[in-house]
Amino acid sequence: MDQRMGGFDWNHIRAFLATAEEGSLSAAARVLGLTQPTLGRQVTALESDLGILLFERVGRALQLTDAGRDLLGHVRAMGAAADQVALAATGHSQSIEGMVRITASEGLSAHILPAALKRIREVAPKLEIDIVAANDIRDLMRREADIAIRHVRPEQPDLIARLVREARAYFYASGPYLAARGRPKSLADLAPHDFIGFGDNQQMLDHLVPLGMPLTEANFRIGSANGIVAWELARQGFGIAPMWDELARLCPEMERILPELKPITFPIWLTTHRELHTSRRIRLVFDHLADFLSNPAR
């Protein structure tokens, strides 16, 4: 069978994708079951075919160049499409059974994941899905979950992590709160306002004060470590809260304040254990979640 697709060797493309996701040639080689020199030659061959540099070495790690980042999204789409073709060709989607446990924050679990799960149920109706809604980082190595959606990359070398995208958050408050307390026109205007705490007020201050916000512990009079509760407090008019823009869009009664402020950006990491390569059910869910979460428009 001809392995070349669109003039490029699929093995070379697969080598690039694994290296980009794993962050090193050695880790990518382990994932693909190749030797490091072989994988390195495949990546170099793709760079030669394309006439661009895909990686640059920073210390012992590899980082994508701008050209590599541009290519990565297209290559991921190719990989996901290839997986779906394989599943469809063998009729596996409908027959995939068993439990897949997903852990994510309370807000993402309640308001974002359901739409993704509808798609997964359409292609694999026999799957069982358990959502573990928690802001703490569950231990995938101890199988507290099969797949985790988090804002930090795991450090364990035996886990597979994919950076889905960089998301954005802004500051919101309810209309009644702003009508009563005033709509801030500048950062200085935030000083007398109430803010909703999301568990660790000092940690929030460590993020917000460097942005130029004149806030202290006194601004955080109410809050909750539960993200759904904290956001509901903001919706009920108790104060201002930062929120992922995709979730905030689901609440049209909330107003974005100081729209000229730059967004708070944060990564969305999709993580699983090495069983991804041997478990069809985990692979299917992982790939569908990656496709869904990487598309903010959806």
Average pLDDT on 89-118 reads 82
What are the tokens at 296?
A: 């903010």
Task: Please state, as a whole number, how many other Cβ atoms lie within 10 Å of the Cβ of residue 118.
Answer: 10
Under DSSP, is residue 58 helix (H, G, I), strand (E, B) or coil?
A: strand
**Distance (Å, whole) CA 211 – CA 284:** 40
Q: Are 36 and 26 in contact (CB under 8 A)?
A: yes
Give the tokens for residue 76: 């991921």
Please report which confidence band the pLDDT of residue 11 belongs to, taking 50, 70 and 90 as the band edges.
Answer: confident
pLDDT score, position 213: 95
Q: In the prediction, which pLDDT does 95 show?
A: 64
Reading the block at residue 153, the tokens are 């990359």
Tokens 């069982």 correspond to what residue? 128
Average of per-residue pLDDT across 16-21: 86
Report the pLDDT averaged over residues 158-167.
84
The two counts, helices (H) then strands (E), for the chain are 11, 13
Greater confidence (88 vs 35) lies with 35
CB contact at 8 A, 243 and 198: no
What is the residue-wise DSSP string for 259-277?
TTSPPEEEEEEEEEEGGGG
Whether residue 1 has pLDDT greater than 60: no
Distance (Å) of CA 233 to CA 200, 222, 225 = 16, 8, 12
CA angle 16, 20, 24 (to 5 degrees): 100
User: Can you state the percent helix, strand and coil of the chain, rounding each to 5?
Assistant: 45, 25, 30
Mean pLDDT computed over 28-45:
84
What is the phi/psi pair of residue 200, to 5°? -115, 95
For helices 10-22 and 36-50, what crossing angle results, to 10°?
110
pTM of this structure: 0.67
pLDDT tens-digit series, residues 218-231 = 999 999 999 999 99
Contact at 8 Å (CB) between 200 and 178? no
pLDDT score, position 242:
95
- Contact in structure between 205 and 215 (CB atoms under 8 Å): yes
How confident is the model at residue 26, as a pLDDT? 83
Say how many C-beta atoms besides its own lie within 10 A of residue 169's C-beta: 17
